[in-house]
Amino acid sequence: MTDELRPLLEAWMPRQRWYSTKNLSPRITAVDLEPLAEGDGVAVARLIACDDAPHHPVVYQVPVTVHPRPAAELAEAALIGRVADGWVYDGCADPRHTAWLLERTAPEVQLRSSRVLSGEQSNTSIICDVTDGAGRPTTLITKVFRVLADGTNPDIELQEVLSRAGTTRVPRFIGALRGGWARHGTRESGDLAVTQEFIGGARDAWRVALDCIRTGDPFDAEALGRATAEVHRLLATELGTRPPDDADREAILTQWRARAATASAAVPDLSPLADRIDTVLRRGAGASWPALQRVHGDYHLGQVIHAPGRGWVLLDFEGEPLRPLAERRLPDLAPRDVAGMLRSFDYAAASAAAPASSTWAADAREAFLTGYAAEGADPRRHGELLAALELDKALYEALYEARNRPDWLWIPLAAITRLLP
């Protein structure tokens, strides 16, 4: 069947939100088909497909179900294609695969129904209505990792650590599934899926912020700062810290300067600012630093939800998805997460386009830092480092906007100007 599936996958994968190289057509060079279960004539299997189209080949996970006839109960978009053995569907859209997955990640529950959550990018999340071991109805969420990497996924690792530490600032961890696959003759293994508590009635912080800016309702940035500091403190306690050394400082300054050079090449308005940019970066590299520790790694309003009666809850601890997995698991600077959230406030204010937007961003910034300081070390004690991290983030944003959304370029450019001496 694998030879039949290769062209079907090459046609189907580019239409999926999780396909990571949108400007390329897939070139599937290897397909590993692992049978998982069978019942009522329907086979459940896992495909591991290696795509050699990008410069660095990508390994994708595609759970499938094979039906003897068209499955009218499944969405048409879930159909991958037809092979000699039947009709092949995306397993994430099929409750048969979801039930198999829950048996491995949450064996005490029974699946009643499932649906795929829309809007995901690099992964696929499935909302699972289940009955728990005591016969009570509840809801879980299972995340299927589409892009696979050899090693431990930090999203699972950190959320499990935080959940077991007893905090309610992350969803409760239920269970995870690991597996192995071959990549060009080399055996690899890693995380395939994770099941967690589903927090119903929650709204993402980005949407909450936009609504508050437009209506004038209060946005509790101070509580968000406290929640962020609580998570950082627990990560440091549970996984340890280490003092930064000269090699760390040299490495980060090199990274910052490389980003600045790339951004300046893409955005001509940055070239006259090169010396002032480098001054901020040098000061940040040479300033007082906190101990290095595990962090969120890709922190912004879109990675937080607000739950009724619970407050702010942090999600998606994978780190920057384009960075190698091993790098994402290294100890880092907690102020990097702080800088990411401060930049997110800026973007929310600009997106809302309301009269009080600029005032809102400044107020949210101050309240967030005050809340963080109440629960942890005050980020303002490391002002030069925080400024450098914000500047680096704004340079990244300028590069992205120049390439993808030129009309938005003014947002990071305004921040860059504000951060310069």
* Residue 103 structure tokens: 């048996």
The per-residue pLDDT for 30 is 82
The rounded distance, in Å, linking the Cα atoms of 89 and 229 is: 43
The rounded distance, in Å, linking the Cα atoms of 88 and 80 is: 6
The whole-number average pLDDT for the span 27-34 is 88
The per-residue pLDDT for 31 is 84
The per-residue pLDDT for 29 is 87
The rounded distance, in Å, linking the Cα atoms of 144 and 123 is: 6
Q: Please spell the DSSP secondary structure of 113-124, one letter per residue.
A: EEEEPTT-SSEE
Task: Decide: 110 and 85 in contact? Cβ < 8 Å.
Answer: no
Question: pLDDT, tens digit, for every residue of 246-256?
Answer: 999 999 999 99
Q: What angle do CA 345, 346, 352 make, to 5 degrees?
A: 90
* Closest by CA position to 370, among listed 402, 418, 338: 338
Residue 120: band (very low, low, confident or very high) from pLDDT cuts 50, 70, 90: low
CA distances from 407 to 10, 172, 262, 282, 410 (A): 33, 40, 19, 30, 7
Instruction: Point out which residues pair with 83 in neighbouring strands.
Output: 86
**Helix, strand or coil, per DSSP, at residue 343:** helix
Place of tokens 């508590």: 197
The whole-number average pLDDT for the span 383-401 is 98
Using CA atoms of 159, 319, 330, 19 in order, give the dihedral in degrees to the nearest 10.
Answer: 110
Strand order in the sheet with 203-204: 203-204, 304-307, 311-314
Burial class (CB in 10 A: 0-12, 13-18, 19+), 168: middle
* Residue 403 structure tokens: 């390439």
What single-letter amino acid sits at 250? Answer: E
The rounded distance, in Å, linking the Cα atoms of 144 and 90 is: 12
Q: Is the pLDDT of residue 328 over 80?
A: yes
Q: Is the pLDDT of residue 22 over 80?
A: no
The per-residue pLDDT for 119 is 73
CA 277 to chain centre: 29
Tell me the average pLDDT of the chain.
95
Q: Is the pLDDT of residue 287 over 70?
A: yes
Tell me where in the chain the CATH 3.90.1200.10 domain(s) lie: 203-419
Q: Which residue has the higher pLDDT, 121 or 354?
A: 354
CA distances from 160 to 59, 105, 142, 181 (A): 25, 13, 14, 24
Count of all residues that appear for the chain in the document: 421
The per-residue pLDDT for 92 is 98
Question: pLDDT, tens digit, for every residue of 194-240?
Answer: 999 999 999 999 999 999 999 999 999 999 999 999 999 999 999 99
Residue 118: band (very low, low, confident or very high) from pLDDT cuts 50, 70, 90: confident
The whole-number average pLDDT for the span 137-146 is 97
Residue 417: band (very low, low, confident or very high) from pLDDT cuts 50, 70, 90: very high
The whole-number average pLDDT for the span 294-303 is 97
Residue 51: band (very low, low, confident or very high) from pLDDT cuts 50, 70, 90: very high
| Topology classification of domain 203-419 | Aminoglycoside 3'-phosphotransferase; Chain: A, domain 2 (3.90.1200)
Q: What percent of the chain has pLDDT over 90?
A: 89
| pTM summary value | 0.91
CB burial string 189-228: b at 16+ within 10 A, e below: ebbbbbbbbbbeebebbbebbbebbeeeeebbbbbbbbbb
Question: pLDDT, tens digit, for every residue of 174-193?
Answer: 999 999 988 878 899 999 99
What single-letter amino acid sits at 317? Answer: F
CA 295 to chain centre: 13
The per-residue pLDDT for 1 is 64
The whole-number average pLDDT for the span 72-90 is 95
Strand order in the sheet with 173-183: 110-116, 123-131, 137-145, 186-197, 173-183
Q: Which helix (H) or strand (E) holds 71?
A: none
Torsion region of 240: left, alpha or beta (phi above 0 gives left; psi -120 to 50 gives alpha): left
